[in-house]
Amino acid sequence: MDTETRDFLEKKFDGIDKKFEVLDNKFDRIDQRFDETDKKFDQKIDALANAVAEGFSAVDKRFDRLENRVGAVENRVGGVEGGLARLEINMLTMHFDKKETQERLARLEAHHERTFKRVDEFLTVVNRHESEIAALRGGQQRIEERLP
C-alpha cells in the first residue's frame, strides 16, 4: 500500500474514530439520562408504593374500626335478643299465671257464693228462731202474769 493511500485511509479512519467518539459521548450522555430517569422513576415508584401502603394502612384501620363497631352492634343485638327471649318467657309465665289466677278466682267466687248462701240460710234460721223465741217469751210472760 502506498503512502498516499495510507494517509488517506488514516484520515478517513481518524474521521470515523472521531465520529465514533462523538457517538460514544452521545451514548454516554444517553446512559446518564437513562440513569437519571431510572433514579427518578425509582423515586416515583417508591413514593407511589409508600402512598399505596399508607392508603392500605388507612383502609385497614377503617376496617378495624368497622369490625369493632359491627362487633358492638352484634353484642347489642345479642343483648336485645336475650332481653326479648326473657320478655317472651315472662309473658308466657304471666299468661299461665293469669289463667291460674282466673281459675282460682272462679273457684273463690263459687266458694263465696256457697258461703253467702249458707250465711243467708243461717240468718233465715236465726230469724225464724228469734221469732219463735220471741213468741215463747211472749207466751211465758203471759203464763207468768196468770200465775199468782
CA distances from residue 74 to 2, 62, 70, 77, 82 in whole angstroms, order as listed: 102, 18, 6, 5, 12
pTM for this prediction: 0.40
d(CA 143, CA 148): 10
CA 80 to chain centre: 9
pLDDT value at position 64?
Answer: 92
The number of CA neighbours under 13 Å toward the Cβ of 107 is 6
Residue 65 has pLDDT above 90, yes or no: yes
- The arithmetic mean of pLDDT across residues 85-94, rounded, is 89
| 2: DSSP letter | -
pLDDT at 7 over 90: no
Proportion of the chain in helix, strand, coil states, percent, rounded to 5: 95, 0, 5
Burial string for 111-124 (b: 16+ CB within 10 Å, else e) reads eeeeeeeeeeeeee
